[in-house]
Amino acid sequence: MSPPAIASYEDLLAAARDPARPATLALAGVIAGAPARGDPPSACVRGLAAGELRALLDAFFPALAARADAAGAPPAAPSGEFTEFDDLVRLLDEHAAAPSPESRWVARAVATACAGADHLWQDMGLPSRAVLGALMRESFPALSARNHADMKWKKFLFLQLCEREDVRACTAPSCGVCSDRGSCFGPESGTPSWFARAADRSAGGANARREG
C-alpha cells in the first residue's frame, strides 16, 4: 500500500485531518519529498512496512488513504544506503514523548530526512525551522531539551550518536573554543523546499509568516 504515485504536498495537506499540526506538516513533507530523494512510493518513509504506511495515511491523511492503492504494494528498498538510519530511529524511539504508532512514524520521517543534504527542516519540507523545533518539543521532549544550546538539528542528532558510541568526533576540547563552531550552531536560515513553498503560495504565505 502506498500513496497514489506519491501525492503532492498540496494534495497531502488538502487530505489532512489536522493540517496545522507540526507532525502533519513533517509527514507530508517527507512523503512528498520521496521523488526528490529517489525513493519509491512504498519507501516514502523509510522503515515503515506497507501496513504501517496505510495506518499513517488513515490517521493523518484520511481523504488520501481512501484513494490509495488498496491492493497494496510490496515494500521496496529506498534509494541509496543510509547507514545511520537505524541508529537515528533507535535514538528517537527511545526519546518519544509516549510510545505510539504516531511517534514511530514521526521518528522514521525525521530519520529519513536526515539523509538529505540541506538543513533538516528543509529536507523535511517544513515551512520553517520553527516548525521543526515545535515538532521536536512535542514528539521528543527530552531530546529537544538536551539541545538547549540550539545546535543545528542534524549536527545535534549525529552528535548524540557519537556520544552513545563514546566516539569523540570533534577536534576541539569544547564548543566554546572550536574554530568550526559555525558549522554546528547558527540560524539554519534558507528557503523552504519547493513543495512547501508551493503550498505556502497557495495559502497566501500564511505558514511562513506565522512561524517567522
Nearer to ligand SF4, 97 or 178 (CB): 178
By the rule CB under 6 A, 145 interacts with ligand SF4 = no
Residue 102 contacts residue 55 (beta carbons within 8 Å): no
- Binding span for ligand SF4 by CB under 6 A among 55-63, 106-114, 177-185, 187-195: 177-185
Q: How far is CA 192 from CA 110, 127, 183, 197, 205, in A?
A: 16, 5, 20, 6, 12
By the rule CB under 6 A, 94 interacts with ligand SF4 = no
Closest approach of ligand SF4 to the CB of residue 166, in Å: 15
By the rule CB under 6 A, 161 interacts with ligand SF4 = no
By the rule CB under 6 A, 20 interacts with ligand SF4 = no
Nearer to ligand SF4, 171 or 189 (CB): 171
By the rule CB under 6 A, 178 interacts with ligand SF4 = yes
By the rule CB under 6 A, 159 interacts with ligand SF4 = yes
Closest approach of ligand SF4 to the CB of residue 28, in Å: 31
By the rule CB under 6 A, 164 interacts with ligand SF4 = no
Selected binder of ligand SF4 within 175, 197, 198, 203 (CB under 6 A): 175
* Residue ranges in contact with ligand SF4 by CB under 6 A: 159, 170, 172, 175, 178, 180-181, 184
